[in-house]
Amino acid sequence: MKHLSQVSAALCLVALAISSPADAKPENDLHIGSSWEFQFAGNPGTGYTWKLDEAASRGLDIVKLKSLGYASRKKERPVVVGAPAPFLFRLTCVKPGHADLWFLYVGPTGKRSAKRQEVRVHCE
């Protein structure tokens, strides 16, 4: 009997792991026509920027994505060469569905770094 309860507990843990992996990104819910701005950490002095990886992304037809570039820090304090800054994007839902967007940190020559970010959105 004790063995059976241990097996049941183990099966429950496996079911939880399958249904909600620890590294899964939360999905952002938006209404059609609404926009959302998000950012990734970067460093403008390196020449690297964040770019959408269209080949790895899904649901691109349900969203409109605009790159806003590195945020200006002039109001807060002067820009310091080599200082980190947020890289901004604006996403707008254009029709219902799910989108899974992947972003790469890419250098000025097209060289990709190991940094990747995922954004998941549900448009309704």
How confident is the model at residue 5, as a pLDDT?
43
- The pLDDT of 14-35, averaged and rounded, is 63
Residue 82's SS3 state is coil
- The pLDDT of 106-115, averaged and rounded, is 91
In a domain, 20, yes or no: no
Q: Are 120 and 62 in contact (CB under 8 A)?
A: no
- The pLDDT of 105-122, averaged and rounded, is 93
Domain count along the chain: 1
pTM of the model: 0.74
- Residue-range definition of the domain harbouring residue 49: 25-123
In this prediction, residue 9 has a pLDDT band, given cuts at 50, 70 and 90, of very low
In a domain, 9, yes or no: no
In a domain, 56, yes or no: yes
In a domain, 1, yes or no: no
In a domain, 4, yes or no: no
How confident is the model at residue 58, as a pLDDT?
97
In a domain, 119, yes or no: yes
- The pLDDT of 92-115, averaged and rounded, is 95
CATH number for the domain including 72?
2.60.40.2020
Report pLDDT digits (tens) over 70-99: 987 665 565 566 788 999 999 999 999 999
In a domain, 41, yes or no: yes
Distance CA 52, CA 41 (A): 15
In a domain, 78, yes or no: yes
Distance CA 28, CA 26 (A): 6
Report pLDDT digits (tens) over 30-80: 999 999 999 999 998 889 999 999 999 999 999 999 999 998 766 556 556
* Structure tokens, 28: 């952002």
